[in-house]
Structure 1
């Protein structure tokens, strides 16, 4: 239950964006395009910006220029727009090598581009018109996300800074470029006007994947979620018929449920987006019978786009999940030791949460394939109650003794695993 309020606070900007842009779109006869764009940017910005500060609003004009360039190039020819999109996303991914600020700057500029693909705003239309409405939608969405961060009881979850080598971020940029290139080529060759589905799927699977295992897991979750969402959407599309107010209410409910459940499994989010698309089709005038082939085609596009992201992640300089976990475990150990010395164990808990998130691929298959890294994850996760006890009572000897014992055992095993990975002999007591 304690996770409900953060979910409500996170989804509130989406609802506010929809309520603000819907009458504007109706008065200007733009359709639901700007509403969907604003909601999409609000959803992505709310989850990606751990520290959402007012400076992001200053990036809206810069993002508008990026969107305008994309619209102009796409208007001139698909190949130009495709190339610009690939370079922009790859550059934003590789920019993380320059530090967290550069990474946040890159993500802030890429969000409007992704939103342009999600929203039914035709990028082949007049560039100035596209630019004007896209800028308005992005500004409204970013402003509401900023206001939500100022709500009482909400705190920005600080993500532990990445300590990955710069070359890792550069390689991830190369992988994303190849994945998006494959998605653009396959989508525009075989999926006609629905090619964005492949590009969005390739981006969502590959952009956040820190390892080969995570790319495979996200691809599986996205596929299973889209399949489940298609089944639900089939029933929903026939049930609501042409009742537009009901479709709007259900669309928001489905997205809110997916937003909350996403913290437990990405498949829930993929399912909710697919079901929401069925409701969006009804708002756009597509009947239930006509929507079924579109949903089936979208499922195929999701699978194809996921494969476009998985292939580079597994074949081109793959980042092994075990290597990521060794690094994350070492960071968590240091954070706990530093926290015990400084009397601040908040960063240690965030590092443990990041470790569990990185271990998701192995946690998903632990019944079939046991790995020693999971013992580290279980051991450090089990320290959370003791760490909270020490935060309140630093002189609790029992809790301190348990923490130190587990730290010593895990550190010794991590050193042994690192030596084995380098092919070095492991000595007793390593």
Structure 2
């Protein structure tokens, strides 16, 4: 247990290092060029999102930065012409990037690379520059620096656990998720710009973060609850922090980075921690960005309401439009784990097991009130993690192999019984449990 905690701490420190490097690089640049804090926020936001991504970055990804800059420029120009044009461009871009995963992993990576700077521009509360071309140039530089440091981190500190397991989801699942994201963002733009004025982006960001990575309708509900609770807790803590250190920029910057680093580490224990850290960091960012400290409490209260509405905008399509059942996802992930373990690819099996536990989060959250048979599979396979780690380095450990093989039969048998009782899950699970 102690070794696992130490490994998690070091992994979090290494993961957050690109954010610190990006901020440390951009701060002197902004001072020399007499820019606002917007370019630093943009770079840090892109670095955070790129670092949190489980995909392995390639040096070729840097060639996409100019393309991402053109996406940003198109959004800025269209939004300047009229909110409706910019809104439509954003919705179509994110929906297409989500649905592109149906084509293949390369298309999915391309879509995510183009969406990251677009989301980053929403998070940044100020304009990095005045003239559109100047804004585009500084935004491109910020994104490029962030991507370079993320790439360096992955080259210096990379483990197999960071690699994303190959997706086996049907193409139609990704297409429907694209439809869900389009509906969620359309609702968020409409409500946000109607109700929250210049702070409409809070609703959109909340809708995106809740819905973009939701694996099932239960996952969307859980993320929405966590984001709301986290924003509420972060608001309570952040109000005092903003009023206390708002007049001391160096202290505020140091505290902001500390809060983000702690939230980055605690996110593995619950998304609410990350939402709380982001809310607290935003409270410290307001004075740095030029907002009056006397309005901080009002801004945070409005943000909390916007977060809740944005989460609901994501939850409604996920639960009403071609919803993906949590139980079906767990059956599929369990089948993938069983097949990978039987094939002897123990490193991939560990990543499949991590994905299974993440997918089980909604059912684990209500386990005290509603026990599901799928959770017994999660428990049984999780108990094999030490043996699987042993087998990744010593594949000829007879005792570990015996324990693993003995634990697979009951899980496989119960999974087949569950599939037989629910024909809708048969197509997804049968190929993986055969043999």
- TM-score, with structure 2 as normaliser: 0.93
How far residue 21 of structure 1 moved from its aligned partner, in angstroms, is: 1.0
Q: Distance in 2 between matches of 1:319 and 1:406?
A: 28
Q: Distance in 1 between matches of 2:159 and 2:381?
A: 26
Aligned pair in 2 of structure 1 residues 135, 424: CA closer, same or farther (>3 Å)?
A: closer
Q: Distance in 1 between matches of 2:405 and 2:359?
A: 24
Q: Distance in 2 between matches of 1:43 and 1:81?
A: 24
Aligned pair in 2 of structure 1 residues 270, 74: CA closer, same or farther (>3 Å)?
A: same
Does structure 1 conserve the Cα–Cα contact (< 8 Å) formed by 2:38 and 2:128?
no
Match of 1:355 in 2: 356
Equivalent residue in structure 2 for 1:72, among 68, 77, 89? 77
Q: Distance in 1 between matches of 2:424 and 2:286?
A: 56
1:277 equivalent in alignment to 2:282: yes
1:113 equivalent in alignment to 2:114: no
> What does 1:3-402 correspond to in 2, within 5 Å?
3-122=8-127, 126-152=131-157, 157-339=162-344, 344-402=345-403
> Which deviations, in whole Å up to 9, do the C-alpha atoms of 1:127-150 show, x marking residues without a partner?
322211111110111011111112
> Which deviations, in whole Å up to 9, do the C-alpha atoms of 1:51-107 show, x marking residues without a partner?
111011000011111111111101111000000000000000000001111111100
How far residue 397 of structure 1 moved from its aligned partner, in angstroms, is: 3.6
How far residue 407 of structure 1 moved from its aligned partner, in angstroms, is: 1.0
Structure 2 residue runs without a partner (length 5+): 1-5, 427-433
Does structure 1 conserve the Cα–Cα contact (< 8 Å) formed by 2:210 and 2:224?
yes
Q: Distance in 2 between matches of 1:406 and 1:153?
A: 30
Does structure 2 conserve the Cα–Cα contact (< 8 Å) formed by 1:95 and 1:169?
yes
CA RMSD, Structure 1 to Structure 2 (Å): 1.9
Does structure 2 conserve the Cα–Cα contact (< 8 Å) formed by 1:90 and 1:176?
yes
Aligned pair in 2 of structure 1 residues 44, 16: CA closer, same or farther (>3 Å)?
A: same
How far residue 120 of structure 1 moved from its aligned partner, in angstroms, is: 2.1
How far residue 155 of structure 1 moved from its aligned partner, in angstroms, is: 5.8
Q: Distance in 1 between matches of 2:58 and 2:414?
A: 41
> Which deviations, in whole Å up to 9, do the C-alpha atoms of 1:252-301 show, x marking residues without a partner?
11111111111111111100010001110121233433100000000000
Aligned pair in 2 of structure 1 residues 316, 397: CA closer, same or farther (>3 Å)?
A: same
Does structure 2 conserve the Cα–Cα contact (< 8 Å) formed by 1:21 and 1:35?
yes
Does structure 2 conserve the Cα–Cα contact (< 8 Å) formed by 1:71 and 1:130?
no
Does structure 1 conserve the Cα–Cα contact (< 8 Å) formed by 2:189 and 2:204?
yes
Aligned pair in 2 of structure 1 residues 304, 152: CA closer, same or farther (>3 Å)?
A: closer
Does structure 2 conserve the Cα–Cα contact (< 8 Å) formed by 1:75 and 1:127?
no
Q: Distance in 2 between matches of 1:423 and 1:297?
A: 43
Q: Which of the pair is proportionally richer in helix?
A: 2
Mean CA deviation greater in 394-403 or 64-73: 394-403
Q: Distance in 1 between matches of 2:188 and 2:100?
A: 22
Does structure 1 conserve the Cα–Cα contact (< 8 Å) formed by 2:37 and 2:128?
no
Aligned pair in 2 of structure 1 residues 267, 45: CA closer, same or farther (>3 Å)?
A: same
Aligned pair in 2 of structure 1 residues 391, 74: CA closer, same or farther (>3 Å)?
A: closer
Aligned pair in 2 of structure 1 residues 136, 178: CA closer, same or farther (>3 Å)?
A: same
Does structure 2 conserve the Cα–Cα contact (< 8 Å) formed by 1:149 and 1:155?
no
How far residue 402 of structure 1 moved from its aligned partner, in angstroms, is: 2.4
Q: Distance in 2 between matches of 1:318 and 1:213?
A: 9
- TM-score, with structure 1 as normaliser: 0.94
How far residue 392 of structure 1 moved from its aligned partner, in angstroms, is: 4.5
Aligned pair in 2 of structure 1 residues 155, 326: CA closer, same or farther (>3 Å)?
A: closer
> Which deviations, in whole Å up to 9, do the C-alpha atoms of 1:14-44 show, x marking residues without a partner?
1111111112212222200000000000000
How far residue 49 of structure 1 moved from its aligned partner, in angstroms, is: 4.9
Q: Distance in 2 between matches of 1:145 and 1:422?
A: 44
Aligned pair in 2 of structure 1 residues 235, 170: CA closer, same or farther (>3 Å)?
A: same
Does structure 2 conserve the Cα–Cα contact (< 8 Å) formed by 1:89 and 1:176?
yes
Structure 1 residue runs without a partner (length 5+): none
Does structure 1 conserve the Cα–Cα contact (< 8 Å) formed by 2:185 and 2:204?
yes
Aligned length: 422
